[in-house]
Amino acid sequence: NVFIAQVDHDKVVKILDFGIAKVLDHRTVTVDGEIVGSARYMSPEQVVGAKDIDLRSDLWSLGVILYRAVTGSDAFGGDIVETMQSIRCGRFSPATITRPDLVPEVDAFFDRALAFDRKRRFLSAVEMADAFAEVAERQVAATSQAEAEPPVGTDERVATATLVQTVTPTVI
């Protein structure tokens, strides 16, 4: 669940209900075989029913949220069966396919954030936030340079400063 909250005079994004996978690991709150949460945001280990789920599962879900915020589309689309198969196979389109104006480092970020193998993922929210901030800085620099260059023919570049303005995570 993603919410926009007013803090002083600023609006901030807050993510709630992380850790549902861990709660399920410690006590039974569902009937066996029941899916909890939205399939699009379930980590591969949740999809396969692994018992040893850790914080990397939540970070993977955050990666899916960031992918949607940056590209405007779902990393894993289709009906529930297609979505779960794509997650199990680690199949998603590079962000630069949907948004060609993004720097290649965005794809590298999502390759790590949405890696099927947990060992390849970020180890903490701080590490993930730092990596995202670095990619956002590169995007802003590339956008600034593109805006300084005159457009060629009808190929005008779209500013992507919204990458920083709307989705730079704040670690609370």
Q: What is the model's pLDDT at position 89? A: 87
Q: What is the model's pLDDT at position 159? A: 34
Q: How far is CA 64 from CA 61, 70, 131, in A?
A: 5, 10, 15
Cα–Cα distance for residue pair 150/47, rounded to 1 Å? 48
Mean pLDDT throughout 34-43?
A: 74
pLDDT in tens, 3-13: 778 888 888 87
What is the pLDDT confidence band of residue 37, given thresholds at 50, 70 and 90? Answer: low
Q: How far is CA 138 from CA 103, 133, 135, 143, 155, in A?
A: 7, 9, 5, 8, 21
Which residue type does 47 have? V
Token pair belonging to 15: 């993510």
pTM of the model: 0.73
